[in-house]
Structure 1
Amino acid sequence: AAAASRGRLRAFSAVLDAVYAPPVRWTERITDETVVCRCEEVTGGAVRAAVEELGAGDVRTVKLLTRAGMGWCQGRMCEPAVAGLTGCEQAPVRRLLARPVPLGVLAASGEPTDD
């Protein structure tokens, strides 16, 4: 059942990707003043400068030089735009389906109980 559900959801995701595909040559519409990364307020001009003037050749290097993708969303919103402006393929990101556990919870789990 889980595999069938996953298949349906992946098919739905593929349809959404097809329907909302960016227009042809969309990167030409991004001006130097266009904010590409809202979290870190990085503009299209800063991304282009990182590629053309500083020699960035991939999304990771642009991220390190401009902070694009280092904000609250961790690149979930801006990475496609940054990848498009750099001329790089957007790598699929596999994020863990987990969340951090506070140290206090871990510390308390090792304490003996009065059972």
Structure 2
Amino acid sequence: MPVSDAETSLDAAIVARLKRTPDGLVAAIVQEHGTGEVLMLAWMDAEALHRTLTTGRATYWSRSRQEYWVKGATSGHHQSVRRVALDCDGDALLVTVEQTGAACHTGAHNCFSDELPVSALEAR
């Protein structure tokens, strides 16, 4: 279970700005520094965000394993954090990283390789 707001060391002013899902998570969009390529989407709670900001290593909450994970801890495909921004509504984070190796668990550089057809484009 994610750490409660009372247990996290994240600044209370930042915690107050986060608009989270009922299970306490906020979407973290991960972007590659330099290219701007969107690599993946992951989930953070206040504690994962605190760990990310204080260590410079991307730390997420795994919904399937119900535990924190540092990207690359087992795969070697690390994410060194260069910037973290909170969107204007407080419901998403943009994490800009230096990616080492693949970002996707499938081995692909990013997690967005399955393009879907947009029928409106055909009508133009």
Q: TM-score range by the shorter chain?
A: under 0.3
Higher strand fraction (1 or 2): 2
TM-score w.r.t. the length of structure 1 is 0.23
Higher relative contact order (CA 8 A, sep 6+): 2
Higher helix fraction (1 or 2): 1
Of structures 1 and 2, the larger Rg is shown by 1
